[in-house]
Amino acid sequence: MSDLLSIGVDVGGTRLKAGLVDQGGAVLATARRDTPGRSAPPAVLEEALLDLVGELRSVASATGRRAASVGVAVAGLVDAARGIVVFAPHLPWREEPLRERLAAGLDLPVVVDNDANAAAWAEHRFGAGRGETHLLLLTLGTGIGGAVLTEGRLQRGRHGLAGELGHVQVVPDGRPCPCGNRGCWEQYVSGTVLRRDGQELVRRGGADAAALSEACDGDPGRLSGDDLTRLAREGDPASRAVLGAAGRWLGTGLAGAVATLDPGTVVVGGGLSEAGDLLLDPARATLAQHLLGRGHRPVPPVVPAALGVGAGLVGAADLARSP
């Protein structure tokens, strides 16, 4: 096995996660930092990234190996060809030449890409989509991230900004979205929606919300999506109903995405995917019911991601190894 390793960094709104990754996609060591606040200058965030990478380079060196490249996965709009973060809603970067600035501080090749693209690449190379040449990946977290592979290649679009499926309108004049539009898909299925709908049940009260109310001591603001998912697994009917509704919205949006992209496999990752079949079974049924040409075409399998929250950094590291 080659002694050359790659470092992957996943830049989120609250946490920076980095890993030392080998050619088989195994994470040999990790490092984490809190993400500086949105009001912090971009240079502060970049210094934190340099510090993370430096820590893992030292780990590699201590074992007699070398980190030869760095990949950075960013939650936002990224022009990967130029290494520029065009817009990151939860970070201070606007038209930020991130690749150039990190490369200057590291003297290593650096690749910068969208976090969903990086996760899709990781699942394609090492995870649930391994060997699939036509892959659609969704990450269900605060919102919906998306990425597409065709003939085994990431599809970034003409300007490098493709994949923002969470902001496809599924309900005309529907729920307002922070992006400024209304009726976006992620306003009907995401971790944010799951928490909001559970909190609304607690506010209404009633016997059906008893388990949810107990989980947050009667304070709706303390109820989390994890609480609701746990209760659903334990059989709470109200929690299962919320997840079922989210799953049907997931399938509704997937019917349009699959009709447009014709993937061989749909991989669903992100925190909300941990609900498993409680979310995915209603999504599969709705997709099969509403897909154009149903009964006359294959319905792609909808499967949970295999690499968990580390997919972004694994994919970024691998993209940096052979961009």
**Digit-coded pLDDT (tens) for 28-43:** 999 999 888 778 889 9
Contacts of residue 158, defined as CB under 8 A and 6 or more positions apart, other chains included, come to none
Mean pLDDT within 95-106: 95
Contact 156, 146 (CB under 8 A): no
Are 112 and 205 part of one and the same domain?
no
Same-domain check for residues 115 and 158? no
pLDDT of residue 15: 86
The pLDDT of residue 1: 39
Tell me, what DSSP letter sits at residue 182?
B
298 vs 288: CA distance, rounded Å: 9
Rg, the chain, Cα only: 20
Output the CA–CA distances (angstroms, integers) from residue 323 to 43, 73, 218, 295, in the order listed.
Answer: 25, 13, 51, 39
Question: What is residue 270's predicted lDDT score, i.e. its pLDDT?
Answer: 87
Domain extent, residue 262, equals 131-305
| Element housing 6 (H / E) | strand 4-11
Confidence of residue 13 (pLDDT cuts 50, 70, 90): confident
pLDDT class for 122, splitting at 50, 70, 90? very high
Co-location of 273 and 154 in the same domain: yes
Let me know: does 164 contact 182? Beta carbons within 8 Å. Answer: no
Q: What is the mean pLDDT of the chain?
A: 93
102, 210: one domain: no
Q: Residue 323: what pLDDT?
A: 60
On whether both 182 and 52 belong to a single domain, the answer is no
Q: Is residue 48 predicted with pLDDT exceeding 80? A: yes
CATH, residue 20: 3.30.420.40
- Indicate if 243 and 210 belong to the same structural domain: yes
Name the pLDDT band for 279 (thresholds 50, 70, 90): very high
Return the higher-pLDDT residue of 92 and 322.
Answer: 92
> Can you tell me the mean pLDDT for 263-268?
97
Q: Walk across the sheet containing 302-304 and list its strands.
A: 153-154, 144-150, 135-140, 265-269, 302-304
Assess whether 185 and 200 both reside in one domain: yes
> Both 189 and 110 in a single domain?
no
Where does the pLDDT of residue 124 fall: very low under 50, low under 70, confident under 90, or very high at 90 and above? very high
Question: For residue 20, what are the β-bridge partners?
Answer: 7, 29
Three-class secondary structure of residue 211 per DSSP: helix
pLDDT over 70 (residue 219)? yes
**13 lies in the same domain as 28:** yes
Structure tokens at 32: 């984490």
Beta pairing, strands 84-87 & 15-21: unpaired
Instruction: Assess whether 230 and 299 both reside in one domain.
Output: yes
In angstroms, the CA 222 to CA 187 distance is: 20
CA proximity to 306, closest of 276, 263, 262, 281: 276
In the chain, DSSP finds a helix count (H) and a strand count (E) of 9, 13
> Within a 10 A sphere around the Cβ of 294, how many other Cβ atoms?
12
Counted domains in the chain:
2
Q: Please indicate, yes or no, whether the overall pTM of this predicted structure exceeds 0.95.
A: no
Query: Does the pLDDT of residue 3 top 70, yes or no?
Result: no
Specify whether 145 is located in the same domain as 101. Answer: no
**3 state DSSP class of 163:** coil
Q: What pLDDT digit, counting tens, does each position of 49-84 carry?
A: 999 999 999 999 998 999 999 999 998 899 999 999
In a shared domain, residues 294 and 210: yes
Please give the pLDDT value at position 39: 80
pLDDT tens figures, 177-209: 988 899 999 999 998 899 999 999 999 998 999
For every residue of 70-101, DSSP letters joined together read: EEEEESSEEETTTTEEEE-TTSS-EEE-HHHH
Contact between residue 26 and residue 15 where contact means Cβ atoms under 8 Å apart: no
